[in-house]
Chain A
Amino acid sequence: LNLLSSDTVWVFISGSDEDRFLDDVAFGVQCLIYRGFATSNILLFIDQQSSLSILSSYPYPDGVQIFETCDFLNQVLQKKPTNLVVVVTGHGSEHGIDALPTISPYKLLDSIKTITSLTYGLVVLGQCYAGTFNFLEARKVDQVSKKVILPELCIVGATDLTFSVSVPINISSQDILKNFSCTLEWNANLFLFFFMLHVAIPFDIDGDNITTVIDAYKAAGIFTNKRLLSIKQQAFLSFSQTLLSSTISQLVQGAVASTLAQQAKQDLANACDGILINQSPWILNANLARKLNI
């Protein structure tokens, strides 16, 4: 079961068009193109939650189609995929994926199960609180016979019931990646970055002589945590110094300026969350993941 075959559709979802998420998607698309995957089988579902039209200026390749998240099921159905991969970046909450409207875990999985052409599906969740998708039914059960029927899903989460993190990444000096037609320096969702990097440059991490979703999951989890652990001490020290020097007394004349200054101070303090948490990736239906080649 090759997830780069011509009967597979890759979908990227972001409920926000903030730059870092658009760049996550652009990098993921380039990883697929690097492997020779057809852009016509790549669909992007991105919501523009502000009145800025940033999305229209993003360098997504020709052939890649962009829709709103509410069009997800309709557009995927038209593609009649045998296999489907859904990669989610952007914001998440305890309610699921922040989008217009919010996509609850059950709603997403149930929608995918209604795709009649589908045999296997993989969902990779990079948003915060991805663990809200865990422990749901990954298989489809016939309501009459009560037998398990296709499609069967595998779900990978970057993090459990907590935040996911984005970190500054610069790939401009890397021979393999520097020719990617995307932003080469951005704040990348770390787990998704490593997961998609493994799609572009797969390797057999567990030594079973095949490269599967299991390998991508392990590689992404290992290298995400490896990097996070190595930076925490330094980051915490730097952050403490930053917060200590942070004031809101600077040029805050007027109500709007005061609002911005207050929000910036709070956001800077909130960013400390990232230092204090761990990323605990998880996988649901690992038996299927072992069969899904990359």
Chain B
Amino acid sequence: MVAFWGIINQMMITNHQHLKTSFNFKNHQKRVFQPLRERKMLQTLSVSKTNVENLPEDVLRLISMGRYTLYKATSPSDHRVSYVLRVSAKDLFVLTNNGSPIEFNDFSDIQITGKVKIEDISSPFVVSNFSFN
């Protein structure tokens, strides 16, 4: 059975919070979670790095490593909003359609429409699949 246990060859990410230099939108309130059948599932969207050309290469690397998460987003009150970049548990950046971060304070009407995978950048580390062999 030991043969079931296989190979992982990836970059490591530590699970503690690092710097908190960006916006902090801590908004702790009681939430009611919806049952699954009522939930709208997030799609994963493939986007070329040329679409978000104003994002620094470091950010793209961190997204590919899974350290940062990039979401497609809209805001009825601000049509500049195209993406939300999550850099930690609490810290978010709002981006325009070319990846430029913008000042943004009111997240109340932000709609997350999908999770973004950057299709043409890979983690700087060789990533081989987990294997049972």
Contacts and interface: CB of A to CB of B under 8 A. Distances in A.
B48 to A, nearest CB: 16
A262 B21 contact: yes
B91 to A, nearest CB: 8
A293 B52 CA distance: 50
A20 interface: yes
A107 interface: no
B84 interface: yes
B122 to A, nearest CB: 10
Contact of B130 (A16, A19, A54, A174): A174
Contacts of B93: 256, 260
B79 interface: no
B108 to A, nearest CB: 7
Interface in B1-25: 1-2, 4-5, 7-19, 21-22, 25
B14 A273 contact: yes
A264 B19 contact: no
Interface in A242-282: 242, 245-248, 250-252, 254-257, 259-268, 270-271, 273-275, 277
B130 A93 contact: no
Contact of B16 (A51, A60, A128): A128
A2 interface: no
A190 B13 CA distance: 10
A167 B13 contact: yes
A113 interface: no
A264 B14 contact: no
A148 interface: no
A165 B7 CA distance: 16
A170 B31 CA distance: 32
Interface stretch (A77-85, A116-124, A133-141, A225-233): A225-233
A164 B15 contact: yes
B93 to A, nearest CB: 5
Contact of B9 (A49, A62, A227): A227
A169 B7 CA distance: 10
Given A241-B124, A260-B56, A277-B14, 7 more contacts: A49-B89, A50-B86, A91-B89, A167-B10, A230-B7, A235-B125, A263-B87
9 closest A-B pairs (Cβ-Cβ)?
A: A274-B12, A187-B66, A203-B1, A163-B14, A16-B89, A128-B16, A264-B58, A165-B12, A167-B10
